[in-house]
Structure 1
Amino acid sequence: MIAALLVGLAASTACVPARAADDARSAAKVVGAYFPGQAATRYPISRIPADKLTHLFYAFATIEEGRCVIKDADAGANFAALAELKRKHPRLRTLISIGGWTAGGFSDAALTSRSRRRFVDSCIALFFDAHRGSFDGVDIDWEYPVYGGPSEIGARPQDRRNMTLLAREFRRQLGRIGEKRGQTFLLTAALPAGRMQSAGPYDPARSYELGELAKVLDFINLMTYDMGTAFTMVSSFNAPLHEVAEDPLGQPMRRWNNVAGAIDYYRQHDVPADKLVLGVPFYGRGYLVSSGANRGLYQPYTAAFAPGNWRDIKETLLSDPQWEQHWHPAAQTPWLFHRGERKFVSYEDPKSIGIRAQLAKDRGLLGVFMWELTGDDEQHNLLEAMAR
């Protein structure tokens, strides 16, 4: 659908000035944001800068006994606020994101044609009937089919095929209600890029039929972050732009465990560029390192810690001179090092976010998205860098 839209735009703008054609193509790009529902008490939905976004992903719905559920205590009020936000910003498309890290139930829900139909029926009834007008589509965030996710969520070898079949069932039912209502409902999925997961070295193609999924989905939110987490052996970058020669991660993992490498990997697995939306993190990753060598980078660590989001890092760390500020020319990302406490922090700033958004544009991707909106500062500096 999105690819057809872009082709149509190209044809319809062929005889207008180049500036107008560029503007039309830009209007078709995705600038997306995930919004965690539980954050609405401190970050009201009415405050969302919807004029800077094209797509908003409300996170998360989960699965219980094979059915869609939403556990946010204020979900009804939040959904009503989403509908109001959409009325004020008709260009905004909102999607309910189902799943997330530690969200179980997918493997059982997707196991048979009957369980898939039952599960999707429940999602349609909850989000498109009971809360009609709040959502324009569904985002599947199954982390992860087959292997790589938290051990407690449950996984099967047949998950890989069943993920595709589940997406087809969502497409079928969203298409059916779309025909009845004269609307086009979207179907997307958030898919991984990080090559180190709970079971060690990780290959997304073992979890997903990537080429087949790309045919079913409107687009893929490529999670080009979490390249360095508590699953890695040394302190490393959360979202390095390119492969770093001194990274001790072995090959072929190192080749793919970066933003540009992840794009290449998905393209090699038959995912068109205009079906990919590049992810950027609005949060940092931290390590308590064993050595101060190399200013804390690529060092063994005793523990990982959460330094917070960009808002926290800007306010508390960047203002403290004990945190040394560094920039890596290959990773194209900043990092912080506290020598006294031997703490290493990987994060993104407006400069690095802008570089990643430019890469998405240069590679012909559909757009950019972030996890997650409330991590930005009050001036929306990271979002501004994405949108530019």
Structure 2
Amino acid sequence: MLRQRLAAVAIVLSALTAPAIAAEPIVGAYYPGGSFERYPVSNIPADTVTHLFYAFARIEDGRCVVANDAPAHFKALARLKQQHPELRTLISIGGWEAGGFSDAALTDESRKRLVSSCVAMFFDTHRGSFDGVDIDWEFPVYGGPKHLPARPEDRANMTLLAKEFRRQLDAKAKARGQAYLLTAALPAGRMQSAGPYDPARSFDLAALGETLDFINLMTYDMGTAFSTVSTFNAPLREVADDPLAPELRRTNNVEGAVDFYLEHGVPADKLVLGVPFYGRGFRVDSAANDGLYQRYREPYAAGDWRDIQSKLLKDGKWTQHWHPVAQTPYLFNADERVFVSYEDPRSIALRAQLAKERGLRGVFMWELTGDDDQRSLLKAMAAPFAPGATR
């Protein structure tokens, strides 16, 4: 009897001291439903992508709605999942200029109505198409498009909304004997529509880190039309020459944004690092410094990597540069005084490697259809998290 008791104690102690099994790494991809005709669901590289986020569902009258052609896309997703059972698909609700969040999250009743409508649509009506929900509220409290309603209580209500999604998804999962994911896309850029921006004023980051399965950290859009000068879209590290105020500059880069979220209570293994498959451009006033950190007249539509590679990089009017601190390429057209920040396979690989070295859950991109036909950016992004990859 004593020997049996000692053996039982040994088993318990072994379980308590054994290292935790690491969660499978995430290679995530946002897929815009509007790209279906030129990039059908059947083209999605489900042998590389582990988590696919369909963008977007919207909120109207406090309930989830989708575009008229979305149900056909959802059926295609279900077929893709049957062919690739390990692929996890999530419906992303919201996006830039998506309204309805502040009102729908305002009360317990309104939150339950929104969530129940979303759960019914995506896990009953379109059962088999999705494994979870991704909340993309841009942004509670302030910083989002100026025409959308925003309230001081949005910060707390975002947490309550996430908890309501968690409650209803868990109930559905228990009834069906399966698990459903809950994630959110959260911002990193420190300049938004209202000027200087602090993500911690919009989101209770520690609380969301507890409630969500993981957070897609949007470590891009750090240089946009809201910036005061031409700058990088996703600099890897802080650049001392950047004229942004020091208190903003410290976290307006990939590494600094990760540090910010960690400092605000989000565990590293709940963070998935975002990389952009598109560029940002500016029509600058001066050719000084090859267009970098200059006042500008207006933004320039640089397009995605596919466009930049096939057009700008093959045009001799654009000079190519690499910044040793930001660890990113950029272009300058001196004749037209246009500066373009973008990412290529080299810079994407560096960001993915940083995610691996910092112990983050994985990487994701906005968005899948911006890659070239060889999937150069996706391959660079996924490489550090491939089976057997080393640091």
Output the TM-score relative to the length of structure 2.
0.93
2:296 aligned with 1:304: no
Which residue of 36, 39, 55 corresponds with 1:59?
A: 55
Tell me by how many angstroms 1:74 deviates. 1.7
Q: Deviations over 1:167-225 (max 9, x none)?
A: 00000000000001111000000000000000000000000000001000000000000
Q: Kindly indicate whether residue 251 of structure 2 is the aligned counterpart of residue 259 of structure 1.
A: no
CA distance in 2, matches of 1:152, 1:29: 38
Residue among 54, 58, 70 paired with 2:66:
70
**What is the letter of the counterpart of residue 49 of structure 1?**
P
Q: Distance in 2 between matches of 1:299 and 1:91?
A: 47
Q: Which residue does the alignment assign to 2:228?
A: 233
State the distance in 2 between where 1:199 and 1:309 align: 26
Question: Does the Cα contact within 8 Å between 2:238 and 2:325 map onto a contact in 1?
Answer: yes
Q: Does 1:205 align with 2:200?
A: yes
AA at the equivalent of 1:271: V
Matching residue of 2:149: 154
In structure 2, which of residues 37, 44, 50 is the aligned counterpart of residue 48 of structure 1? Answer: 44
Match of 1:363 among 358, 363, 387: 358
| 1:93 matched to 2:88 | yes
Q: C-alpha distance in 1, partners of 2:46/2:297?
A: 41
C-alpha displacement of 1:12: 8.0
| CA RMSD between the two structures | 1.3
The equivalent residue for 1:132 is 127
Q: Tell me which amino acid in the other structure corresponds to 1:357.
A: A
Give the unaligned 5+ runs of structure 2: 1-14, 384-391
Cα gap change, 1:338/1:99 in structure 2, threshold over 3 Å: closer, same or farther? same
Distance 2:292 2:346 in 1: 20
Structure 2 match to 1:250: 245
Q: Give, in whole Å, the separation in 1 of the partners of 2:59 and 2:205.
A: 23
Aligned to 2:327: 332
CA distance in 2, matches of 1:154, 1:305: 28
**Aligned counterpart for 2:29 among listed residues 26, 30, 33:** 33
- Percent identical among aligned pairs is 69
> Whole-Å Cα distance in 2 between the matches of residues 274 and 307 of structure 1?
33
Code of the residue aligned with 2:108 in structure 1: it is S
Q: Does 1:317 align with 2:331?
A: no
1:386 pairs with one of 348, 372, 381:
381
TM, length-normalised to structure 1? 0.93
Would the aligned equivalents of 1:139 and 1:187 in 2 still touch at CA under 8 Å?
yes
**Contact 1:101–1:143 (8 Å) recurs in 2:** yes
Greater Rg by CA:
2
**Cα distance change of structure 1 residues 299 and 277 upon mapping to structure 2, 3 Å threshold:** same
For 1:96, what is the secondary structure of its paired residue?
strand
Question: How far apart in 2 are the matches of 1:166 and 1:112?
Answer: 9
1:122 is aligned to 2:117: yes
Residue type matched to 1:206 in 2?
R
8 A contact 1:104–1:152 mirrored in 2: no
Equivalenced residue count is: 368
Give the whole-Å Cα distance in 2 for the aligned partners of 1:383 and 1:185. 25
Q: 1:11 deviation in Å?
A: 4.4
Q: Distance in 1 between matches of 2:195 and 2:235?
A: 19
SS at match of 2:47: helix
How far is the alpha carbon of 1:107 from its aligned partner?
0.4
Amino acid at match of 2:165: F
